[in-house]
Amino acid sequence: MSNQKTSDILISEVGPRDRLQSVSTTMPTAHKKQWIRDLAAAGLREIEVGSFVSHKLLPQMADTGEIVAFARTLPGVFVTALAPNLHGAQDAFQAGVQKITIPVSVSEPHSLANVNKTHAQMFEQVRQIIACRNAHYPAVLVEAGLSTVFGCTIQGVVEEDDVLRMAHTMAELGVDEVGLADTVGYATPLQVHRLFTRLKHDLGELAGSAHFHNTRGQGLANVLTALDAGVTTFDASLGGIGGCPYAPGASGNIVTEDLVYLLESMGLRTGVSIEKLLVARETLKQGLPNEPLYGFIPDAGVGKNFHYAGEKA
């Protein structure tokens, strides 16, 4: 986990990965670098800059190695990337990432659709990735990002006990963090509070981030209840787009701009400037001119009574 000394809540910006993998347009590398530069300038201190996957399947991610190298030059930015298998993890390690997230689906049908692996095969991949990290890249963090934890559009219901069993397996395999993702936007506040409370109880400091989608309008409500359960790291995407190409109906990450407004208005420091996020949003618009952007704050503004946490009212 990256440094949170100047903030109460860490916002991990996942747009350069989750957003760009969900659209058919490929953003030019130079423009992607400018976008990430603007995100960093806005105060975002953890950025998931891409994924190390097959270029044939996701050509939008073909330049991830170059993007990692660029992002590592930005002061104060903790650079993360997604890696679904050993080959991708090795590429990520060599590129210089500071953390990788391994997507591990609790729903086996989704695992087969997303990474073409059974649970047993995925466990072996995690085992090999941890062994490679331990032997050659000990400073790099490894997160298991558990997906479809609140339900799956392919399997249907996903039992909470199955989620906890998967989390324990990941901890036993040696990951540094276990995050929970609402891949298809099924989560409700009661589910979120109950499951994160159990995760914190079982795994302690290994219990990691919350990754919510706003597919059914529950994203920020889920943030509030996750906060109450002790979560301090939240994934979000500038402009609010994102989704899994292999999960039918998955769409809509929570909007970074709206999340910052919510947290700061509650007196929780994020270290992120909404005004500078809007600059990054314009860069994003230019890079993907035909893609819709979402969010209330960019249209409505913050209002005259708004002030950042720590500022005098």
pTM higher than 0.85: yes
Return d(Cα 43, Cα 47) in angstroms, integer.
Answer: 11
Position 311 in a domain:
no
Position 221 in a domain:
yes
Position 26 in a domain:
yes
Output the pLDDT for position 7.
85
- Which of 181, 261, 189 is CA-nearest to residue 229? 189
Contact present, 16 and 49 (Cβ < 8 Å): yes
Active site residues: 244
CATH number of the domain where residue 174 is located: 3.20.20.70
Contact present, 287 and 60 (Cβ < 8 Å): no
pLDDT in tens, 242-290: 655 554 554 578 999 999 999 999 999 999 999 999 999 999 999 989 8
The residues pairing with 207 across neighbouring beta strands, listed in sequence order, are 178
Token pair 């479809």 is found at: 148
Ramachandran region, residue 30 (left: φ > 0; alpha: ψ -120 to 50; beta: rest): alpha
Question: Residue 163 is inside which H or E element, if any?
Answer: helix 160-173
Return d(Cα 64, Cα 136) in angstroms, integer.
Answer: 21
Contact present, 278 and 298 (Cβ < 8 Å): yes
The burial class, CB within 10 Å (0-12 / 13-18 / 19+), for 8 is middle
Output the pLDDT for position 41.
98
Return d(Cα 16, Cα 51) in angstroms, integer.
Answer: 9
Output the pLDDT for position 57.
79
pLDDT in tens, 48-60: 999 999 888 788 8
Position 158 in a domain:
yes
Return d(Cα 273, Cα 282) in angstroms, integer.
Answer: 15
Return d(Cα 269, Cα 248) in angstroms, integer.
Answer: 35
Return d(Cα 195, Cα 222) in angstroms, integer.
Answer: 12
Q: How many domains does the chain have?
A: 1
Domain that holds residue 49: 10-300
Position 3 in a domain:
no
Output the pLDDT for position 4.
45
Coil, helix or strand at residue 274: helix
What lies within 8 Å, CB to CB, of 195 at 6+ separation is: 149, 150, 160, 163, 180
Position 162 in a domain:
yes
Position 308 in a domain:
no
What lies within 8 Å, CB to CB, of 72 at 6+ separation is: 79, 96
Position 310 in a domain:
no
Which regions of the chain are under pLDDT 50?
A: 1-4, 247, 250
Return d(Cα 160, Cα 164) in angstroms, integer.
Answer: 6
